[in-house]
Structure 1
Amino acid sequence: MTRGNTTFCGGEPTWANACVGNNGDPGYWDYAKGFSQAANLLIDEVLNGKGFTYAFDELIYPVCFNMRHSVELRLKGAISVLVLLEKFRGRVFEFDLEGSHDIGNIWRFFIEKSRSVDDRYNEIVDRLNAKILDIAEIDVTGQTFRYPINRESQKHLVDVAIINFYNLKESFSEIEDALDDLHRLNKYLYDEYWYGTFTKRLSRKNIFYIAAQLPTRDQWGKESFVRTKSEIKEMFNIGSKELSESIKIIQGNFETAPIVGISVPLLGVSETILIDFIKHWLKRHNNNSDTAPIGLGSSIWGSEDMLESISRDAEVQNEVWENVNSFLTPQIMAGILALFHFARELDFSEHYIHIYACALQEVEWAFKRPGSDAREQFMYVFNKTNAVDSILKSLYFLKQGEVAEMLVSTHGLEKRFPWLDEARSGGLFRKPEYYGYAK
């Protein structure tokens, strides 16, 4: 039995308790942010006091140690993501994340592996390289700012003599900005690779690039198509089999199929179904204003008494359910749910397919159960004030612009949504530049 720890424990006030271990499940990123925030706080305190409140010569060591350790942890966290990305491809590599503290070796390993995994790391590697080498040059293993002498009893930093806090702040800010972008890119790539849209040598970004180079499907029997395929194979160093695999992906992807003149049908729903859904939805939510955006703070009460409004809404719901119940199927319901939920995170059209599959499984079970489960599934979306907003955004993202425009025109929604023009141009869904997709 171990004694009760009275130092590293919870206590009062409870707002001062920090979560550690499995309580919050912190990883490399959380630790790294803690050390970097500590460094920045110390830098700002020293600079604000101009050396009178806190001593430059004493705080330089914890500041630089925290900076360096934060960078080491962030790089190790980035490598752990590379390991996961390679697993998606069925490949394996290992790195001693716990045992290695040589930041130069860690950085060289990251450069080598990141470039073999995905070329979108190159831009951030270029931004970081000189700064990481600065750290590696002055503190290879994390001992320089930790102890005054090394293991050979030699004094640290004798060739440096002076370190400027302003320079530290500026340089570390640049490092943090690049590492923050690296962290965001890692999270994005993990989600991207999770959906499996890649081949042995080609990433999803590469496949999207290939789609932009191909002629439309009706031109694929011509000699120009043969030349284009040869150029693509040479550019990416791939064979005919892998190119055919990528073209197959292109034809089935909601975002790339229209580029080659192919339309991928929506899942579970048709234009007619969506027209009917919105028609009924307007009975429930239309506030009779030609300019007020639906789902953006409009009120369902108006000047009516609340009880009368509740009664009216119930009548509308009953009337609508009587109408749709005769033709509503699990596929239709799952299709509506997928378009509604997909708008929460418009990143990958593959996610829409995943949402539909999950929704269909849940809805099929609901339709088999007795009672009002199917009605509850329908009313869940029908009663949402942002239902049409979400459905239209999903349609534009999925390159179903003709369907979306038909719905807007049919129901007079042109002035209802201030984001329409941005959705039409694609600007609403634009990704950061380093994600690698064409604007």
Structure 2
Amino acid sequence: MDNKTFTGSGPTWANACVGDNGQPNYIEYSKGYSKAANLLLNYILNSKGEQIDHLIYPICFNMRHSIELRLKGAIEEIRLLAHIKKIDLPCFNLITSHDIGNIWSYFKINANLLDTRFRELIDRINETICDIASIDPTGQTFRYPRSNDDQTHLVEQGVINCYILNTRFKDLEDNLDDLIYLIDSLIDEYKLGTFTKNLSRQQIFELTTHLPPYEQWSDNSFKAIKEELTKCYKISNNELTKAIKLIKDHYELSHKIGIKKPLAFLNDVQILELCDIWITYFSPDFKEVYSHKETTVDKDEKDSNFIDDFFRCGSLHKKGMTILEKDLSDNYVSDLQSLYYLSIDKHKYSENYISSYELFQKQAKYKNIRDSLSNILSKVIFLEEFVKSLFFLHQIDLAEKIIKIYNLETIFNFIPEARNRIFFRHFELMGY
């Protein structure tokens, strides 16, 4: 029998998507309860307390249930993080567990075991969640007037101030949003594979600052440094060796110990030749794009110039492609694509450069590499993004040489401080 109450109908704007027609996970469910609580809270605050004694129960119930759902969603996500790290977390039944104190305790213990970067956010959140767990541990206090053993709820509390409640709940929501963002970012980070049993990527970055230049590693002093590092980070010699291997093979870290890691395929000579060909044949007027100068041109003249430029650019483009064909290969084009899109993606991780290169190599088997090369070189911002990626991957001398040869300093607004930290240091929550 069809349900005549919970059904779809016109007008279509009044139909809410649920089940497989929506996004029925813990986090998505929690947002609805949060919004309901906030709408009611805003009504009370804007109306100076109208119906406050009636509305406080659904407000607090919705708040509490939202937090329970958010924490359950967070537990689901750290389970994925644990899977990536190949760690087995203790069993915890999310479906039958409603004690928010127990749920929070499980999350705190296991999140801190997975990564030390959880600690700061957990400390920020802890007091408010413990307040909720204290007044309504299992979701019954604001749901019913009396407990299962016939005791009136909230007798000791007496009053609840909605101004304070509003402030504390907003802070908690913001911090829980940061927590979910941190977990998602950590999942992305650990998928890169730059970690050991006890060291995260961020800790390996930190460890690198304690290493001397690679040329000094044969000194007796380096042995003492390694012994100190194993004690400081509480790791074995074997784990330190694995961490050092990761550092030596990492674009963002190897340069810190005096090792220049080459690009996946392209060498300096090929890159300099490519830049010259790009400026000569693919975008000879690219500097005008960066000048941002407005010019007054008659419409007929503008149309005429457009047609002339179209044929001129097409002819130059064809000549450029003819010159490049001698170097054309899957690896050549894949490396160019990887360097360009690394910058377009805001240089999140240098590991993405190699994974992207490998992906483009696979795709090249099914694509015309000449078309792929033509497409990437036709982008007017190609050179800017390309040079940024060279800086990010610490091909500093080469990037500086390109800037000097083509006088790009003022065109791309490169500044010395930006070059070595390369513009896009992200994720304050990540601890870098």
| Structure 2 length-normalised TM | 0.92
Deviations for 1:291-322, whole angstroms, at most 9, x for unmatched residues? 8269x999xx9945333222222212211110
Match of 2:220 in 1: 223
Aligned ranges 1:17-96 → 2 under 5 Å? 17-52=15-50, 55-93=51-89, 94-96=91-93
Cα distance, 1:66–1:403 mapped onto 2, change above 3 Å: farther
Aligned ranges 1:319-358 → 2 under 5 Å? 319-343=319-343, 344-358=345-359
Deviations for 1:176-218, whole angstroms, at most 9, x for unmatched residues? 1211111111111000111111111111111111111111101
Cα distance, 1:188–1:317 mapped onto 2, change above 3 Å: same
AA of the residue aligned to 2:16: A
Q: Distance in 2 between matches of 1:26 and 1:388?
A: 44
Given that residues 31 and 73 in structure 1 are in contact (C-alpha distance below 8 angstroms), is that contact kept between their aligned partners in structure 2? yes
Q: 1:425: how far off?
A: 4.3
AA of the residue aligned to 2:85: R
Given that residues 339 and 395 in structure 1 are in contact (C-alpha distance below 8 angstroms), is that contact kept between their aligned partners in structure 2? yes
AA of the residue aligned to 2:78: L
Given that residues 27 and 73 in structure 2 are in contact (C-alpha distance below 8 angstroms), is that contact kept between their aligned partners in structure 1? yes
Given that residues 388 and 422 in structure 2 are in contact (C-alpha distance below 8 angstroms), is that contact kept between their aligned partners in structure 1? no
Aligned residues: 424
Larger CA deviation: 213-222 vs 387-396: 387-396
- Matching of residue 172 in structure 1 with residue 135 in structure 2: no
Match of 1:369 in 2: none
- Matching of residue 401 in structure 1 with residue 378 in structure 2: no
AA of the residue aligned to 1:37: K
Given that residues 115 and 121 in structure 1 are in contact (C-alpha distance below 8 angstroms), is that contact kept between their aligned partners in structure 2? yes
Larger CA deviation: 15-24 vs 64-73: 15-24
Q: Distance in 2 between matches of 1:316 and 1:408?
A: 23
Q: Distance in 2 between matches of 1:266 and 1:62?
A: 59
Larger CA deviation: 418-427 vs 234-243: 418-427
Q: Distance in 1 between matches of 2:153 and 2:169?
A: 21
List runs of 5+ in structure 2 lacking aligned partners. none
Q: 1:413: how far off?
A: 1.3
Given that residues 204 and 243 in structure 2 are in contact (C-alpha distance below 8 angstroms), is that contact kept between their aligned partners in structure 1? yes
Identity %: 38
Larger CA deviation: 270-279 vs 143-152: 270-279
Q: Distance in 1 between matches of 2:318 and 2:289?
A: 28
CA RMSD of aligned residues (A): 2.3
AA of the residue aligned to 2:155: V
| Structure 1 length-normalised TM | 0.91
Q: Distance in 2 between matches of 1:288 and 1:394?
A: 19
Q: 1:106: how far off?
A: 0.8
Match of 2:113 in 1: 116
AA of the residue aligned to 1:363: A
- Matching of residue 107 in structure 1 with residue 104 in structure 2: yes
Cα distance, 1:243–1:47 mapped onto 2, change above 3 Å: same
Stretches (4+) displaced over 6 A: none
Given that residues 293 and 415 in structure 1 are in contact (C-alpha distance below 8 angstroms), is that contact kept between their aligned partners in structure 2? no
Given that residues 29 and 73 in structure 1 are in contact (C-alpha distance below 8 angstroms), is that contact kept between their aligned partners in structure 2? yes
Q: Distance in 1 between matches of 2:148 and 2:319?
A: 83
SS of the counterpart of 2:215? helix
Given that residues 396 and 423 in structure 1 are in contact (C-alpha distance below 8 angstroms), is that contact kept between their aligned partners in structure 2? no
SS of the counterpart of 2:20? coil
Given that residues 75 and 106 in structure 1 are in contact (C-alpha distance below 8 angstroms), is that contact kept between their aligned partners in structure 2? yes
Q: Distance in 1 between matches of 2:110 and 2:424?
A: 30
Given that residues 291 and 415 in structure 1 are in contact (C-alpha distance below 8 angstroms), is that contact kept between their aligned partners in structure 2? no
Deviations for 1:59-89, whole angstroms, at most 9, x for unmatched residues? 1111111111111111111111211111112
Cα distance, 1:32–1:210 mapped onto 2, change above 3 Å: same
AA of the residue aligned to 2:362: Q
Aligned ranges 1:267-306 → 2 under 5 Å? 267-282=264-279, 283-287=281-285, 289=287, 292=290, 303=302, 304-306=304-306
Cα distance, 1:356–1:347 mapped onto 2, change above 3 Å: same
Match of 2:423 in 1: 428
Given that residues 392 and 422 in structure 2 are in contact (C-alpha distance below 8 angstroms), is that contact kept between their aligned partners in structure 1? no
Q: Distance in 2 between matches of 1:316 and 1:174?
A: 58
